[in-house]
Structure 1
């Protein structure tokens, strides 16, 4: 795909669009100026002989407008823009494969599960009206009602947090303290810390100290460094933004707190932080070019990838989509499993167990590493655990 060619065509279309908009505005401004000038001349005409004078002004205005020929000029500008857009569209059609049928695999969809994923995506994004419309048309309203109420609660708490009212979030964190601690989250401490900073920002050192004793004290042992920093902030009451701890008042801290709240709320519900639908679509966009190319190559050799249990070639989706450590044998190109675990050879290279057995042909026989001159035996190989 010639991305440079596409980019150049896109920039030409943008340039034509800007030129067309500028010329059109200039033309319309000129017409408005001519009309305004004519109106001023008509208003300045005395009552005696007004009819003939007004007619003369209007005739002069008509002559100016005919001379400008606005319709012809606007059509010319739009024509140039349409040509540029047409060329860009044809180039896109030429460079991109719009027939995605070969990349689609025939699978049996579990409609109810798919509907739940789509509804969950809408509710997760806070698009409750769209989600309600979808579940009603899909006849999933009863099944999705609990999901909806959970995300309504989350967005209510999130809205208050973004308005710097931490009481609802603190109530939720205290109620689910056991789950947060088990999950290794210090969300409750972050909320109390932010509330403490807000009290200090209002200049009340006494209230802030009382709040620290009441709510931050229990965290003093486990989070000593954070606790000491917050206590040192008492010296800067009312002017914390001018202190060495000014970052505690930044908007980014509130954004991070809101993200952490959403993450822990989703974790409590047993849902992923990112929308599964969003992840699947983005992963599909990454994999689509490779799958299309693979399907076209296999079609030439009369092979059908629809019947394969796994793809005959790896698809690199990047680290963004790596959720678990997966080892793929560089010899057999198969992912490791409990039956076929990764094995570390003395030379430091790693193969799957089946590959080692095929290379050795015997548990006691020496075999050569396929990546270096070292010789080894099956007994010298050790299983790796990720």
Structure 2
């Protein structure tokens, strides 16, 4: 991270929107920002010298690798679960029991597979979100499902069917919301877009970290 590079300026710009928690985390964040602002000179400064320790770098690389890379190869995991599921499907079909499945992605029996993707349950409707009913982030930072928003705005829709701007109150705080400002949350969007889309990249970082 060298001052003058485009990536450096973008990082500093995003850090201005970062709101750390109080206490030790806030102090560590302040030291990190100070080192970024000083750039290469921070390596010779006693206040920030330990941040450039190679041992810390190795620990960071190890933790990031464990976070972003699955412990087991995805193909091996798919094959293992697939073989197990086929055996259960065969046994179920041979039993002659009737299939009682409501959703395309449901199975008529318990598989006991560990969840391998992020899930979100709407705190209002107590239902798990899907592609057709994604989690939506309000301007206040609270996240509820799209169906919950539709139910909150149904009375307004009936009273003002031609209104272009539907407003409603967040069920967790008194802040008034505009339906057009609600944004769909993608918990899998960890990558930053191309460098020529700086504004979109900044919005995505804010979006995932729930920073206003």
**TM-score category (smaller protein):** 0.3 to 0.5
Higher relative contact order (CA 8 A, sep 6+): 2
Structure label with greater radius of gyration: 1
When the two structures are superposed, what TM-score results if normalisation uses the length of structure 2? 0.34
When the two structures are superposed, what TM-score results if normalisation uses the length of structure 1? 0.20
Higher fraction of helix: 1
